[in-house]
Structure 1
Amino acid sequence: MKRYALIIGFVSTVMGVGTHATAGPGNVRFTKHNLSNNMDVSKGLPIGAGADQRRIYSLEVDQVCIFCHTPHNAQPVMPLWNKAMPNQTFNLYTSSRSLTPTARSASLPAGSVSLLCLSCHDGKTAINVLHNASQISSMADNGIDKIVDIGGDYDNAMGGFPSPPTGGISLGIFGGFGEYPSNMGKTDGDDFAGNNLADDHPIGFSYTAAQGESNDRLRLPEDVNTMSSGKIRFFSPNNSVECSSCHDPHVNYTVGAGTPAGDPALKPFLVMSNVGSAMCLACHNK
Protein backbone atom coordinates (compact mmCIF):
# COMPACT_ATOMS: atom_id res chain seq x y z
CA MET A 1 0.00 0.00 0.00
CA LYS A 2 2.84 2.39 0.84
CA ARG A 3 4.41 1.76 -2.57
CA TYR A 4 1.17 2.65 -4.37
CA ALA A 5 0.81 5.78 -2.26
CA LEU A 6 4.30 6.87 -3.25
CA ILE A 7 3.54 6.32 -6.94
CA ILE A 8 0.31 8.30 -6.73
CA GLY A 9 2.06 11.09 -4.88
CA PHE A 10 4.81 11.24 -7.49
CA VAL A 11 2.33 11.47 -10.35
CA SER A 12 0.44 14.23 -8.52
CA THR A 13 3.62 16.19 -7.93
CA VAL A 14 4.75 15.95 -11.55
CA MET A 15 1.32 17.05 -12.74
CA GLY A 16 1.40 20.00 -10.37
CA VAL A 17 -1.61 18.98 -8.32
CA GLY A 18 -0.01 17.40 -5.28
CA THR A 19 -0.97 20.11 -2.81
CA HIS A 20 -4.23 21.33 -4.29
CA ALA A 21 -7.81 20.70 -3.29
CA THR A 22 -10.09 18.73 -5.55
CA ALA A 23 -12.03 20.85 -8.01
CA GLY A 24 -15.52 19.64 -7.23
CA PRO A 25 -17.73 16.56 -7.18
CA GLY A 26 -15.34 14.34 -9.11
CA ASN A 27 -17.27 11.43 -10.55
CA VAL A 28 -16.10 10.99 -14.12
CA ARG A 29 -18.66 8.23 -14.72
CA PHE A 30 -21.35 10.90 -14.74
CA THR A 31 -19.65 13.15 -17.29
CA LYS A 32 -19.31 13.24 -21.06
CA HIS A 33 -15.76 11.99 -20.60
CA ASN A 34 -17.18 8.58 -19.73
CA LEU A 35 -16.94 6.84 -23.11
CA SER A 36 -17.61 3.36 -21.76
CA ASN A 37 -20.41 1.07 -22.90
CA ASN A 38 -22.72 1.69 -19.97
CA MET A 39 -26.50 1.81 -20.24
CA ASP A 40 -27.10 1.64 -16.47
CA VAL A 41 -27.96 5.08 -15.11
CA SER A 42 -26.97 3.99 -11.61
CA LYS A 43 -23.40 3.40 -12.81
CA GLY A 44 -22.86 6.36 -15.09
CA LEU A 45 -24.37 9.18 -17.10
CA PRO A 46 -27.03 7.79 -19.45
CA ILE A 47 -26.78 7.83 -23.22
CA GLY A 48 -29.14 10.14 -25.05
CA ALA A 49 -29.93 13.61 -26.28
CA GLY A 50 -29.51 16.80 -24.32
CA ALA A 51 -26.62 19.02 -23.36
CA ASP A 52 -25.67 17.07 -20.23
CA GLN A 53 -25.99 13.56 -21.60
CA ARG A 54 -23.44 11.35 -23.29
CA ARG A 55 -23.63 11.30 -27.07
CA ILE A 56 -20.39 9.37 -27.70
CA TYR A 57 -19.73 5.94 -26.23
CA SER A 58 -18.00 2.63 -26.86
CA LEU A 59 -19.92 -0.25 -28.39
CA GLU A 60 -18.02 -2.82 -26.33
CA VAL A 61 -15.52 -1.42 -23.81
CA ASP A 62 -16.99 -1.19 -20.32
CA GLN A 63 -13.99 0.48 -18.65
CA VAL A 64 -14.27 4.20 -17.97
CA CYS A 65 -10.68 5.28 -17.36
CA ILE A 66 -9.09 3.40 -20.27
CA PHE A 67 -9.97 6.09 -22.82
CA CYS A 68 -7.37 8.36 -21.21
CA HIS A 69 -5.29 6.28 -18.79
CA THR A 70 -3.50 2.95 -18.58
CA PRO A 71 -1.59 1.44 -15.63
CA HIS A 72 1.08 -0.09 -17.89
CA ASN A 73 3.17 0.91 -20.92
CA ALA A 74 1.84 4.46 -20.92
CA GLN A 75 2.80 7.03 -23.55
CA PRO A 76 3.63 9.55 -22.24
CA VAL A 77 4.55 7.96 -18.92
CA MET A 78 2.92 10.77 -16.96
CA PRO A 79 0.05 10.72 -16.19
CA LEU A 80 -0.17 7.10 -17.36
CA TRP A 81 -1.60 8.28 -20.69
CA ASN A 82 -3.23 5.83 -23.10
CA LYS A 83 -3.48 7.92 -26.27
CA ALA A 84 -1.29 9.27 -29.01
CA MET A 85 -0.24 12.86 -28.48
CA PRO A 86 -0.99 15.45 -31.18
CA ASN A 87 2.01 16.56 -33.22
CA GLN A 88 0.46 19.48 -35.04
CA THR A 89 1.26 23.15 -34.43
CA PHE A 90 -1.29 25.12 -32.42
CA ASN A 91 -1.96 28.81 -32.91
CA LEU A 92 -2.24 30.42 -29.47
CA TYR A 93 -3.75 33.70 -28.33
CA THR A 94 -0.72 35.99 -28.36
CA SER A 95 -1.87 39.15 -30.17
CA SER A 96 -3.38 41.30 -27.41
CA ARG A 97 -1.39 44.34 -26.31
CA SER A 98 -2.53 43.66 -22.75
CA LEU A 99 -0.57 40.41 -22.65
CA THR A 100 2.81 40.37 -20.97
CA PRO A 101 5.87 39.45 -23.07
CA THR A 102 5.86 36.01 -21.44
CA ALA A 103 2.23 35.35 -22.41
CA ARG A 104 2.85 36.58 -25.97
CA SER A 105 5.64 34.02 -26.33
CA ALA A 106 3.48 31.09 -25.17
CA SER A 107 3.99 27.66 -26.75
CA LEU A 108 2.96 24.03 -26.31
CA PRO A 109 6.17 21.97 -26.37
CA ALA A 110 6.23 18.19 -26.16
CA GLY A 111 5.17 17.19 -22.68
CA SER A 112 2.81 20.11 -22.22
CA VAL A 113 -0.12 19.26 -19.96
CA SER A 114 -2.52 20.90 -22.42
CA LEU A 115 -1.56 18.40 -25.11
CA LEU A 116 -3.31 15.75 -23.02
CA CYS A 117 -6.60 17.58 -23.54
CA LEU A 118 -5.82 18.26 -27.17
CA SER A 119 -5.17 14.57 -27.82
CA CYS A 120 -8.97 14.43 -28.14
CA HIS A 121 -10.01 18.05 -28.60
CA ASP A 122 -7.81 18.91 -31.58
CA GLY A 123 -10.46 17.66 -34.03
CA LYS A 124 -7.86 15.45 -35.68
CA THR A 125 -6.45 12.81 -33.34
CA ALA A 126 -8.67 9.72 -33.26
CA ILE A 127 -10.40 9.36 -29.91
CA ASN A 128 -10.81 5.60 -30.29
CA VAL A 129 -7.15 4.69 -30.90
CA LEU A 130 -5.56 3.58 -27.62
CA HIS A 131 -2.15 2.26 -26.68
CA ASN A 132 -3.63 -0.49 -24.52
CA ALA A 133 -7.08 -2.07 -24.82
CA SER A 134 -8.47 -5.59 -24.63
CA GLN A 135 -11.80 -5.23 -26.47
CA ILE A 136 -10.62 -4.03 -29.86
CA SER A 137 -12.04 -4.03 -33.38
CA SER A 138 -8.74 -3.73 -35.25
CA MET A 139 -5.13 -2.62 -35.04
CA ALA A 140 -3.96 0.86 -35.97
CA ASP A 141 -1.73 1.41 -38.99
CA ASN A 142 1.39 1.52 -36.82
CA GLY A 143 0.78 -2.09 -35.76
CA ILE A 144 0.98 -1.13 -32.09
CA ASP A 145 -2.06 0.89 -31.09
CA LYS A 146 -5.55 -0.58 -30.84
CA ILE A 147 -8.82 0.67 -32.31
CA VAL A 148 -12.02 0.29 -30.31
CA ASP A 149 -15.53 0.67 -31.70
CA ILE A 150 -17.32 3.91 -30.88
CA GLY A 151 -20.99 4.73 -31.38
CA GLY A 152 -23.19 7.77 -31.02
CA ASP A 153 -23.43 11.01 -32.91
CA TYR A 154 -21.06 13.96 -32.59
CA ASP A 155 -22.83 16.33 -34.92
CA ASN A 156 -26.49 15.89 -33.98
CA ALA A 157 -26.63 17.41 -30.52
CA MET A 158 -30.38 17.03 -30.08
CA GLY A 159 -31.13 14.00 -32.21
CA GLY A 160 -32.41 10.62 -31.12
CA PHE A 161 -30.14 7.63 -30.74
CA PRO A 162 -30.71 3.94 -31.40
CA SER A 163 -30.49 1.51 -28.53
CA PRO A 164 -28.26 -0.36 -28.76
CA PRO A 165 -26.27 2.17 -30.80
CA THR A 166 -25.42 1.43 -34.40
CA GLY A 167 -22.75 2.72 -36.72
CA GLY A 168 -19.97 5.15 -35.98
CA ILE A 169 -19.65 8.76 -34.98
CA SER A 170 -21.09 11.21 -37.47
CA LEU A 171 -18.49 13.50 -39.00
CA GLY A 172 -20.42 15.72 -41.33
CA ILE A 173 -23.26 14.56 -43.56
CA PHE A 174 -24.19 10.91 -42.96
CA GLY A 175 -20.94 10.31 -41.08
CA GLY A 176 -19.64 7.88 -43.67
CA PHE A 177 -22.46 5.45 -42.81
CA GLY A 178 -20.61 4.14 -39.79
CA GLU A 179 -17.11 4.20 -41.27
CA TYR A 180 -14.32 5.61 -39.13
CA PRO A 181 -12.43 8.40 -40.90
CA SER A 182 -8.76 8.76 -40.02
CA ASN A 183 -9.38 12.11 -38.32
CA MET A 184 -12.18 11.02 -36.02
CA GLY A 185 -12.15 14.07 -33.81
CA LYS A 186 -15.00 16.43 -33.08
CA THR A 187 -16.02 18.69 -35.94
CA ASP A 188 -18.27 21.28 -34.34
CA GLY A 189 -19.45 22.71 -31.04
CA ASP A 190 -17.67 24.27 -28.07
CA ASP A 191 -15.83 21.08 -27.18
CA PHE A 192 -13.95 21.14 -30.49
CA ALA A 193 -10.84 23.25 -30.05
CA GLY A 194 -8.98 22.48 -33.27
CA ASN A 195 -5.47 23.79 -33.84
CA ASN A 196 -6.49 27.45 -33.82
CA LEU A 197 -6.58 28.49 -30.18
CA ALA A 198 -6.20 32.19 -30.97
CA ASP A 199 -9.71 32.87 -29.68
CA ASP A 200 -9.12 31.08 -26.37
CA HIS A 201 -7.47 32.14 -23.12
CA PRO A 202 -3.65 31.97 -23.40
CA ILE A 203 -2.01 28.74 -22.27
CA GLY A 204 1.53 27.41 -22.31
CA PHE A 205 3.32 30.17 -20.39
CA SER A 206 4.75 30.67 -16.91
CA TYR A 207 2.27 32.43 -14.65
CA THR A 208 5.06 33.42 -12.26
CA ALA A 209 7.02 35.13 -15.05
CA ALA A 210 3.90 36.79 -16.49
CA GLN A 211 2.86 38.06 -13.06
CA GLY A 212 6.26 39.64 -12.57
CA GLU A 213 5.79 41.59 -15.82
CA SER A 214 2.17 42.56 -15.20
CA ASN A 215 2.52 45.67 -13.00
CA ASP A 216 0.24 43.95 -10.49
CA ARG A 217 -2.49 43.31 -13.08
CA LEU A 218 -2.05 39.65 -12.15
CA ARG A 219 -2.15 38.46 -8.56
CA LEU A 220 0.75 36.73 -6.85
CA PRO A 221 0.60 32.91 -7.14
CA GLU A 222 0.05 32.56 -3.40
CA ASP A 223 -2.90 34.98 -3.60
CA VAL A 224 -4.37 32.99 -6.49
CA ASN A 225 -4.10 29.89 -4.34
CA THR A 226 -5.91 31.63 -1.48
CA MET A 227 -8.67 33.19 -3.58
CA SER A 228 -9.38 29.93 -5.41
CA SER A 229 -9.04 27.75 -2.29
CA GLY A 230 -6.24 25.91 -4.05
CA LYS A 231 -8.39 24.94 -7.03
CA ILE A 232 -6.68 26.94 -9.79
CA ARG A 233 -3.57 24.97 -10.68
CA PHE A 234 -0.25 25.89 -12.25
CA PHE A 235 2.01 23.17 -13.57
CA SER A 236 5.67 22.29 -13.25
CA PRO A 237 8.39 23.06 -14.01
CA ASN A 238 7.63 26.80 -14.18
CA ASN A 239 4.08 27.30 -12.82
CA SER A 240 2.64 27.06 -16.31
CA VAL A 241 -0.92 28.06 -17.22
CA GLU A 242 -2.55 25.14 -19.03
CA CYS A 243 -6.06 23.93 -19.90
CA SER A 244 -6.19 22.15 -16.55
CA SER A 245 -5.50 25.36 -14.68
CA CYS A 246 -9.18 26.20 -15.07
CA HIS A 247 -10.71 22.88 -16.14
CA ASP A 248 -10.95 19.43 -14.55
CA PRO A 249 -12.14 16.65 -16.89
CA HIS A 250 -13.40 14.56 -13.96
CA VAL A 251 -15.87 17.11 -12.53
CA ASN A 252 -19.50 16.06 -12.35
CA TYR A 253 -21.78 19.02 -13.12
CA THR A 254 -24.74 16.87 -14.20
CA VAL A 255 -28.02 16.99 -12.32
CA GLY A 256 -30.58 14.37 -13.28
CA ALA A 257 -32.89 11.71 -11.98
CA GLY A 258 -31.03 8.72 -10.61
CA THR A 259 -27.58 10.33 -10.85
CA PRO A 260 -25.33 11.61 -8.05
CA ALA A 261 -25.78 15.33 -7.59
CA GLY A 262 -23.28 17.35 -9.57
CA ASP A 263 -22.62 21.07 -9.35
CA PRO A 264 -24.09 22.97 -12.34
CA ALA A 265 -21.90 25.96 -11.45
CA LEU A 266 -18.86 23.94 -12.58
CA LYS A 267 -20.07 23.58 -16.16
CA PRO A 268 -18.13 23.12 -18.42
CA PHE A 269 -15.65 21.14 -16.28
CA LEU A 270 -14.54 24.18 -14.27
CA VAL A 271 -12.28 23.77 -11.25
CA MET A 272 -14.40 26.32 -9.36
CA SER A 273 -17.54 28.35 -9.85
CA ASN A 274 -17.15 31.46 -12.00
CA VAL A 275 -20.28 33.14 -10.64
CA GLY A 276 -19.50 36.83 -10.39
CA SER A 277 -16.29 36.13 -12.38
CA ALA A 278 -14.80 34.62 -9.22
CA MET A 279 -12.45 32.33 -11.12
CA CYS A 280 -11.29 35.09 -13.47
CA LEU A 281 -10.69 37.51 -10.60
CA ALA A 282 -8.69 34.95 -8.66
CA CYS A 283 -5.86 35.65 -11.14
CA HIS A 284 -6.75 38.98 -12.73
CA ASN A 285 -6.50 42.00 -10.45
CA LYS A 286 -9.33 44.13 -11.83
Structure 2
Amino acid sequence: MGLAVAVAGMAIHLPADAQIKNTKHNLGTTTGGTGVNKFDGTTEICVFCHTPHGSDTSAVVPLWNRTLPNPNTFTTYDSLGTSTLDGKTAPVGSVSIACLSCHDGVTSMSAVINAPGSGTAGDSAWQAGTWSGANQTGGVMKAGIIANLGQDLKNDHPIGIQYGGGGITATSPAAATRDSDFKTPANASINGTTVWWVDTEATPNNARNKTDMILYTRAPGKGYTGQTDSEPFVECASCHDPHSTNATFLRIANAGSAVCLACHVK
Protein backbone atom coordinates (compact mmCIF):
# COMPACT_ATOMS: atom_id res chain seq x y z
CA MET A 1 0.00 0.00 0.00
CA GLY A 2 2.82 2.38 0.83
CA LEU A 3 4.36 1.96 -2.59
CA ALA A 4 1.04 2.70 -4.19
CA VAL A 5 0.79 5.91 -2.19
CA ALA A 6 4.27 6.93 -3.30
CA VAL A 7 3.78 6.13 -6.98
CA ALA A 8 0.54 8.05 -7.07
CA GLY A 9 2.69 11.12 -7.67
CA MET A 10 4.71 9.63 -10.52
CA ALA A 11 4.16 10.91 -14.04
CA ILE A 12 2.04 13.69 -12.58
CA HIS A 13 2.61 17.33 -13.40
CA LEU A 14 0.91 20.12 -11.48
CA PRO A 15 -0.16 23.36 -13.17
CA ALA A 16 1.94 26.33 -12.09
CA ASP A 17 -0.97 27.84 -10.17
CA ALA A 18 -1.92 24.61 -8.35
CA GLN A 19 0.04 25.39 -5.20
CA ILE A 20 -0.74 24.58 -1.61
CA LYS A 21 -0.17 28.21 -0.61
CA ASN A 22 -3.39 29.13 -2.41
CA THR A 23 -5.54 26.65 -0.46
CA LYS A 24 -7.11 26.25 2.98
CA HIS A 25 -4.19 23.99 3.86
CA ASN A 26 -1.95 27.06 4.05
CA LEU A 27 -2.25 27.39 7.83
CA GLY A 28 0.80 29.57 8.54
CA THR A 29 1.13 33.32 8.16
CA THR A 30 2.28 33.20 4.52
CA THR A 31 -0.20 35.11 2.38
CA GLY A 32 -2.32 33.28 -0.14
CA GLY A 33 -4.29 30.88 2.00
CA THR A 34 -8.03 30.91 1.43
CA GLY A 35 -9.02 29.47 4.79
CA VAL A 36 -9.94 31.27 7.97
CA ASN A 37 -7.75 29.16 10.26
CA LYS A 38 -4.28 30.58 10.82
CA PHE A 39 -1.38 29.81 13.19
CA ASP A 40 0.94 32.75 13.89
CA GLY A 41 3.91 30.67 15.03
CA THR A 42 5.38 30.17 11.55
CA THR A 43 5.41 31.39 7.98
CA GLU A 44 5.91 27.82 6.77
CA ILE A 45 3.21 25.95 4.89
CA CYS A 46 4.36 22.36 4.45
CA VAL A 47 5.41 21.78 8.09
CA PHE A 48 1.84 21.14 9.24
CA CYS A 49 1.96 17.84 7.35
CA HIS A 50 5.53 17.14 6.20
CA THR A 51 9.08 17.23 7.54
CA PRO A 52 12.34 16.60 5.64
CA HIS A 53 13.85 14.66 8.57
CA GLY A 54 12.59 12.47 11.39
CA SER A 55 9.21 11.72 9.83
CA ASP A 56 6.63 9.19 10.99
CA THR A 57 7.43 6.21 8.76
CA SER A 58 4.40 4.29 9.99
CA ALA A 59 2.30 6.69 7.93
CA VAL A 60 3.62 5.28 4.64
CA VAL A 61 2.95 8.81 3.41
CA PRO A 62 5.88 10.93 2.19
CA LEU A 63 7.81 12.43 5.14
CA TRP A 64 4.75 12.66 7.37
CA ASN A 65 5.11 15.09 10.28
CA ARG A 66 2.21 13.97 12.42
CA THR A 67 1.54 11.04 14.75
CA LEU A 68 -1.22 8.88 13.32
CA PRO A 69 -4.41 8.03 15.21
CA ASN A 70 -5.24 4.37 15.73
CA PRO A 71 -7.34 3.04 12.81
CA ASN A 72 -9.50 1.17 15.31
CA THR A 73 -10.75 4.44 16.82
CA PHE A 74 -12.88 5.09 13.74
CA THR A 75 -16.34 3.72 13.02
CA THR A 76 -16.87 3.46 9.26
CA TYR A 77 -19.84 3.30 6.90
CA ASP A 78 -19.89 -0.49 6.75
CA SER A 79 -21.03 -0.65 10.39
CA LEU A 80 -24.49 0.44 9.18
CA GLY A 81 -24.94 -2.97 7.55
CA THR A 82 -26.19 -1.40 4.33
CA SER A 83 -27.21 -4.23 2.00
CA THR A 84 -25.89 -2.46 -1.11
CA LEU A 85 -22.37 -2.19 0.30
CA ASP A 86 -20.87 -5.31 -1.24
CA GLY A 87 -17.14 -4.69 -0.91
CA LYS A 88 -15.08 -6.20 1.87
CA THR A 89 -13.72 -3.70 4.37
CA ALA A 90 -10.39 -3.36 6.11
CA PRO A 91 -9.03 -1.05 8.81
CA VAL A 92 -8.83 2.54 7.58
CA GLY A 93 -5.74 2.81 5.36
CA SER A 94 -2.67 4.90 6.12
CA VAL A 95 -3.40 7.51 3.45
CA SER A 96 -6.83 8.13 5.05
CA ILE A 97 -5.38 8.06 8.56
CA ALA A 98 -3.00 10.80 7.43
CA CYS A 99 -5.99 12.99 6.55
CA LEU A 100 -7.76 12.06 9.77
CA SER A 101 -4.76 13.07 11.87
CA CYS A 102 -6.25 16.59 11.53
CA HIS A 103 -9.80 15.92 10.39
CA ASP A 104 -10.70 13.64 13.31
CA GLY A 105 -11.60 16.75 15.31
CA VAL A 106 -9.45 15.50 18.18
CA THR A 107 -5.89 16.43 17.26
CA SER A 108 -4.61 20.01 17.05
CA MET A 109 -3.51 21.06 13.58
CA SER A 110 -0.25 22.32 15.10
CA ALA A 111 0.54 19.01 16.84
CA VAL A 112 3.50 18.06 14.68
CA ILE A 113 6.49 15.80 15.31
CA ASN A 114 9.10 18.36 14.23
CA ALA A 115 8.48 22.08 14.62
CA PRO A 116 9.96 24.42 12.00
CA GLY A 117 13.18 26.27 12.50
CA SER A 118 16.70 25.21 13.40
CA GLY A 119 17.30 25.01 17.12
CA THR A 120 15.41 26.48 20.04
CA ALA A 121 14.51 29.79 18.36
CA GLY A 122 12.37 28.15 15.75
CA ASP A 123 10.85 25.71 18.19
CA SER A 124 10.05 28.35 20.81
CA ALA A 125 8.41 30.58 18.20
CA TRP A 126 6.26 27.61 17.23
CA GLN A 127 5.29 26.83 20.81
CA ALA A 128 4.40 30.48 21.44
CA GLY A 129 2.14 30.58 18.41
CA THR A 130 -1.62 30.97 18.71
CA TRP A 131 -4.51 29.98 16.49
CA SER A 132 -7.15 32.29 15.07
CA GLY A 133 -10.17 31.67 12.87
CA ALA A 134 -13.82 30.77 13.20
CA ASN A 135 -13.40 27.13 12.20
CA GLN A 136 -11.11 26.03 15.02
CA THR A 137 -10.92 25.94 18.80
CA GLY A 138 -7.39 25.88 20.17
CA GLY A 139 -6.12 24.53 16.85
CA VAL A 140 -8.64 21.67 16.78
CA MET A 141 -11.24 21.75 14.04
CA LYS A 142 -14.44 23.20 15.42
CA ALA A 143 -17.31 20.79 16.09
CA GLY A 144 -20.14 20.98 13.60
CA ILE A 145 -18.16 22.06 10.53
CA ILE A 146 -18.01 19.70 7.55
CA ALA A 147 -14.19 19.45 7.69
CA ASN A 148 -14.42 17.98 11.19
CA LEU A 149 -15.21 14.39 10.24
CA GLY A 150 -14.83 13.16 13.79
CA GLN A 151 -14.19 9.54 14.65
CA ASP A 152 -17.68 8.36 13.72
CA LEU A 153 -17.50 8.05 9.93
CA LYS A 154 -20.80 6.23 9.44
CA ASN A 155 -22.22 9.23 7.60
CA ASP A 156 -19.21 9.56 5.31
CA HIS A 157 -18.28 7.80 2.05
CA PRO A 158 -16.84 4.31 2.67
CA ILE A 159 -13.07 4.13 3.02
CA GLY A 160 -10.82 1.15 3.57
CA ILE A 161 -13.07 -0.82 1.22
CA GLN A 162 -12.53 -2.90 -1.92
CA TYR A 163 -13.22 -0.93 -5.07
CA GLY A 164 -16.32 -2.03 -6.96
CA GLY A 165 -17.20 -4.86 -4.65
CA GLY A 166 -13.93 -6.64 -5.36
CA GLY A 167 -13.05 -9.03 -8.14
CA ILE A 168 -9.93 -7.13 -9.20
CA THR A 169 -6.53 -8.42 -8.07
CA ALA A 170 -2.88 -8.28 -9.10
CA THR A 171 -3.41 -11.68 -10.70
CA SER A 172 -6.41 -10.35 -12.68
CA PRO A 173 -5.82 -6.58 -12.72
CA ALA A 174 -8.12 -5.88 -15.67
CA ALA A 175 -11.04 -8.04 -14.48
CA ALA A 176 -14.46 -6.46 -14.30
CA THR A 177 -15.70 -5.40 -10.88
CA ARG A 178 -18.07 -7.78 -9.13
CA ASP A 179 -20.51 -4.89 -8.85
CA SER A 180 -21.50 -3.83 -12.37
CA ASP A 181 -22.44 -0.38 -11.08
CA PHE A 182 -18.74 0.48 -11.00
CA LYS A 183 -16.39 1.24 -13.87
CA THR A 184 -13.47 -1.10 -14.41
CA PRO A 185 -10.31 0.79 -13.38
CA ALA A 186 -7.14 1.14 -15.43
CA ASN A 187 -3.97 -0.44 -14.09
CA ALA A 188 -0.21 -0.48 -14.49
CA SER A 189 2.74 -2.26 -12.95
CA ILE A 190 5.25 0.07 -11.29
CA ASN A 191 8.37 -1.44 -9.74
CA GLY A 192 6.63 -4.79 -9.69
CA THR A 193 3.53 -3.53 -7.88
CA THR A 194 0.15 -3.32 -9.62
CA VAL A 195 -1.59 0.02 -9.12
CA TRP A 196 -5.07 1.09 -10.20
CA TRP A 197 -6.97 4.27 -10.97
CA VAL A 198 -10.20 5.35 -12.65
CA ASP A 199 -9.66 7.63 -15.64
CA THR A 200 -11.70 10.84 -15.52
CA GLU A 201 -10.91 12.04 -19.05
CA ALA A 202 -13.66 11.88 -21.67
CA THR A 203 -11.18 9.90 -23.73
CA PRO A 204 -9.09 7.86 -21.25
CA ASN A 205 -5.36 8.51 -21.66
CA ASN A 206 -4.31 5.34 -19.79
CA ALA A 207 -1.97 7.37 -17.56
CA ARG A 208 -2.36 7.80 -13.82
CA ASN A 209 -2.87 11.53 -13.21
CA LYS A 210 -3.77 13.56 -10.14
CA THR A 211 -7.08 14.34 -11.82
CA ASP A 212 -8.00 10.65 -11.92
CA MET A 213 -9.68 8.81 -9.06
CA ILE A 214 -6.74 7.10 -7.36
CA LEU A 215 -7.10 3.63 -5.85
CA TYR A 216 -4.69 2.37 -3.22
CA THR A 217 -3.05 -1.04 -3.35
CA ARG A 218 -3.17 -3.30 -0.33
CA ALA A 219 -1.20 -6.51 -0.14
CA PRO A 220 -2.38 -9.58 1.80
CA GLY A 221 -2.10 -8.90 5.50
CA LYS A 222 -2.80 -5.19 4.96
CA GLY A 223 -6.43 -5.52 3.93
CA TYR A 224 -9.37 -7.65 5.03
CA THR A 225 -9.17 -11.03 6.76
CA GLY A 226 -8.60 -13.78 4.22
CA GLN A 227 -7.23 -11.54 1.47
CA THR A 228 -4.84 -13.55 -0.72
CA ASP A 229 -3.75 -11.09 -3.43
CA SER A 230 -3.03 -7.39 -3.83
CA GLU A 231 -6.20 -5.41 -4.52
CA PRO A 232 -7.33 -1.79 -5.06
CA PHE A 233 -9.05 -0.01 -2.17
CA VAL A 234 -10.91 3.28 -1.82
CA GLU A 235 -9.48 5.84 0.63
CA CYS A 236 -9.99 9.55 1.32
CA ALA A 237 -7.38 10.48 -1.28
CA SER A 238 -9.20 8.52 -3.97
CA CYS A 239 -11.44 11.55 -4.43
CA HIS A 240 -9.47 14.30 -2.67
CA ASP A 241 -6.04 15.72 -3.45
CA PRO A 242 -4.80 17.73 -0.43
CA HIS A 243 -2.63 19.90 -2.69
CA SER A 244 -5.39 20.79 -5.16
CA THR A 245 -6.89 24.26 -5.46
CA ASN A 246 -10.27 22.75 -6.36
CA ALA A 247 -13.17 23.31 -3.99
CA THR A 248 -13.00 20.86 -1.05
CA PHE A 249 -9.77 19.53 -2.58
CA LEU A 250 -11.66 17.30 -5.03
CA ARG A 251 -9.51 15.79 -7.78
CA ILE A 252 -11.88 17.20 -10.39
CA ALA A 253 -14.75 19.67 -10.26
CA ASN A 254 -18.03 18.01 -9.30
CA ALA A 255 -20.23 19.80 -11.83
CA GLY A 256 -22.87 17.35 -12.98
CA SER A 257 -21.71 14.98 -10.20
CA ALA A 258 -18.55 14.30 -12.22
CA VAL A 259 -16.67 12.99 -9.18
CA CYS A 260 -19.39 10.47 -8.35
CA LEU A 261 -19.92 9.39 -11.94
CA ALA A 262 -16.19 8.88 -12.50
CA CYS A 263 -16.52 5.58 -10.62
CA HIS A 264 -20.24 4.89 -10.28
CA VAL A 265 -22.28 3.81 -13.30
CA LYS A 266 -25.62 5.52 -12.74
1:83 and 2:83 correspond: no
Matches within 5 A, 1:163-182: 171=137, 180=138
Helix, strand or coil: the match of 2:216?
coil
Determine the C-alpha separation between the residues in 2 that align with 1:218 and 1:60. 46
Unaligned runs of 5+ in 2: 169-176, 188-196, 219-230
Q: Which residue of 2 aligns with 1:54?
A: 35
Determine the C-alpha separation between the residues in 1 that align with 2:44 and 2:3. 22
1:236 and 2:217 correspond: yes
Give the CA deviation at 1:21.
Answer: 4.2
Helix, strand or coil: the match of 1:245?
helix
Determine the C-alpha separation between the residues in 1 that align with 2:90 and 2:166. 10
Q: Which amino acid aligns with 1:132?
A: N
Q: Which residue of 2 aligns with 1:130?
A: 112
Helix, strand or coil: the match of 1:239?
strand
Q: TM-score, normalised by structure 2?
A: 0.71
Matches within 5 A, 1:1-286: 13-19=4-10, 21=12, 26-38=18-30, 40=31, 44-45=32-33, 53-76=34-57, 78-87=61-70, 89-94=73-78, 95-102=81-88, 105-108=89-92, 112-133=94-115, 134=117, 135-137=122-124, 147=127, 149-155=129-135, 171=137, 180=138, 184-207=140-163, 210=166, 214-222=178-186, 225-228=198-201, 230=209, 231-237=212-218, 238-252=231-245, 266-286=246-266
Q: TM-score, normalised by structure 1?
A: 0.67
Q: Is the 8 A contact 2:164 2:178 kept in 1?
A: no
Q: Is the 8 A contact 1:35 1:56 kept in 2?
A: yes
Helix, strand or coil: the match of 1:119?
helix
Determine the C-alpha separation between the residues in 2 that align with 1:23 and 1:203. 26
Give the CA deviation at 1:148.
Answer: 6.0
Q: In angstroms, what is the RMSD of aligned CA positions?
A: 2.8
Q: Which amino acid aligns with 1:222?
A: A
User: Quick one: structure 1 residues 239 and 101, their matched pair in 2 at CA, closer, same or farther if it must change by over 3 Å?
Assistant: closer
Between structures 1 and 2, the one with greater strand share: 2
User: Quick one: structure 1 residues 267 and 184, their matched pair in 2 at CA, closer, same or farther if it must change by over 3 Å?
Assistant: closer
User: Quick one: structure 1 residues 131 and 147, their matched pair in 2 at CA, closer, same or farther if it must change by over 3 Å?
Assistant: farther
State the identity %.
33
Give the CA deviation at 1:32.
Answer: 0.9
